[in-house]
Amino acid sequence: MNILVTNDDGYKSDGIRTLVKSLALFGDVYVCCPHKQQSASSMSISINKKIKIHLPENIVGAKSTVTIEGTPSDCISVALKEFKVDFDLCVSGINFGHNLANDIFYSGTIGAARQARLKEIHSIAVSAANPNAPYIYDALNSFFDYIFDTKLYKGDHILNVNFPSINFNKTKGFKLTKLGKKLHNSDFIYDENKKVYITKYSSKKFIEDINSDVAAVEDGYISITPISFDNTDHSFLDKISKKNL
């Protein structure tokens, strides 16, 4: 199996090293990731820009490592050109911090996984409150055993995977979930002296459905949420279609 690994935290992230170490047990791993931090870049791509490539010291466990001065989504396109490999799977992460509920619209980790799926590569995005937690590596190995055995990663979706909240030192297992309702609150505060806006963010929580990804990670589970590309509001479409008949 040929596996492409990327992230949005950049080459120096500990999370990507743990991910490569685990995936090397399952196939040939190739890394193409941003040279520097690219969080919250979603699926953005570079248009009419030159993308500089770096060849850093190879990440242990990888067949080859390339970094780029571009976005996580750019990494997918560059990887296909640079490695000239038919990839069976792309895994993006491990992101430092959860990507739950509406986080998926902002996350560069998920953006890269979605870009890979658009390139017809099955994809998984992996996030954790703390990718350096001692249990993460063994839990990752168990997770990939489960995923490859069940073939859950195959299909037109991507899998959005989140490890338990930071107050757990082990997982209770896996739980198939749906997206929760948690929202980001943003406040832009103007500094008159420096003539800049300072951004401050916080999360607004709701009473979550017990089957949501937010509820799962807060209860100690690894949440596995399939995400599709179809953003059509089918119920509304059906409703207005019937009225217009």
The predicted structure's pLDDT at residue 98: 95
Characterize the bridge pairing of strands 2-6 and 28-34.
parallel
173-204 burial code (b ≥16 CB/10 A, e <16): ebbebebbebeeeeeeeeeeeeeeeeeeeeee
**Domain range annotation of the chain:** 2-181+207-243
CATH class of the domain comprising 2-181+207-243: alpha beta
pLDDT digits (tens, 9 = 90+) for 10-66: 999 999 999 999 999 999 999 999 999 999 899 999 999 999 999 999 999 999 999
Mean pLDDT of all residues belonging to the chain: 93
CA 165 to each of CA 150, 177, 215, 224: distance values in angstroms, whole numbers, following the listed order: 25, 15, 10, 14
The predicted structure's pLDDT at residue 151: 96
Pick the more confident residue, 22 or 207. Answer: 22
pLDDT interval class at 205 (50, 70, 90): low
Is the pLDDT at 117 greater than 90, yes or no? yes
pLDDT interval class at 166 (50, 70, 90): confident
Is the pLDDT at 184 greater than 90, yes or no? no
Its pTM stands at 0.92
Q: Is the Cβ–Cβ distance between 41 and 74 less than 8 Å?
A: no
CA dihedral over 221, 212, 98, 7, signed as positive or negative: positive
Half-sphere exposure of residue 47: CA atoms within 13 angstroms, side-chain side: 2
pLDDT interval class at 193 (50, 70, 90): confident
pLDDT digits (tens, 9 = 90+) for 224-244: 999 999 989 999 998 888 776
